[in-house]
Amino acid sequence: MPYTEAGQDAWDNRVLGEDPTGYCQPSGPSRVFHTPFPVQIIQTESQVSFLFEMLHMYHRVFTDGRDHPDPVDKTWWGHSIGRYDGDSLLGDPVGRHARTCPYTSGVQHSDQLQLTQVFEKTGPDAIRYTVTYDDPVFFTEPWSVTSQFTRSEYDLLEFICTENNRDVAHFITE
């Protein structure tokens, strides 16, 4: 990743045992798309909702023309608005708090992180997801990750994670 000095320092000194998912906490609006767990997409006139098997999380992208609230509450998922451009949904999530990991464990961000999400329909049963990370404090330039999703006949399963997770002590902490 194109780290700035601050970003490289944060990466070099990360504590993997502090990964929020190890404590059954959400990963945030982009990292969860890079997990091997299924996602169900529900589209209505006013929003697109993503239901994730991982930790029974969900994320909503409002498509009804609303703006982000002012001020935006800092939450795990932030607030997302989106608009359609042809066969693509362009998402603009803002307002994530500092504990979220935007891409994978240990990748940190500042309050200046701007995510751009593009969900592009590439076939009758396929979506290409591209997320671009732009954070001038942690990265020297914007960078992107692309994933491909294919529809399958699958019902989301129950995923139980409890705050009494005893594996956390076995995580790498240095």
Of 42, 40, 61, whose CA–CA distance to 52 is shortest? 40
> At residue 14, does pLDDT exceed 60?
yes
Instruction: List the domain boundaries for the chain.
Output: 5-167
Q: What is the pLDDT of residues 63-96, one digit of tens each?
A: 999 999 999 888 888 899 999 999 999 998 888 8
Rounded to two decimals, the pTM is: 0.85
Position 78 scores a pLDDT of 86
What is the third-level CATH fold of 5-167? Lipocalin (2.40.128)
For the cut 70, the answer to whether the pLDDT of residue 6 exceeds it is yes
Give me the count of residues in the chain: 174
d(CA 86, CA 68): 23
pLDDT over 80 (residue 28) = no
From residue 156, alpha-carbon distances to 5, 51, 56, 133, 167 in Å are 41, 8, 9, 28, 24
Is 60 in contact with 47 (CB distance < 8 Å)? yes
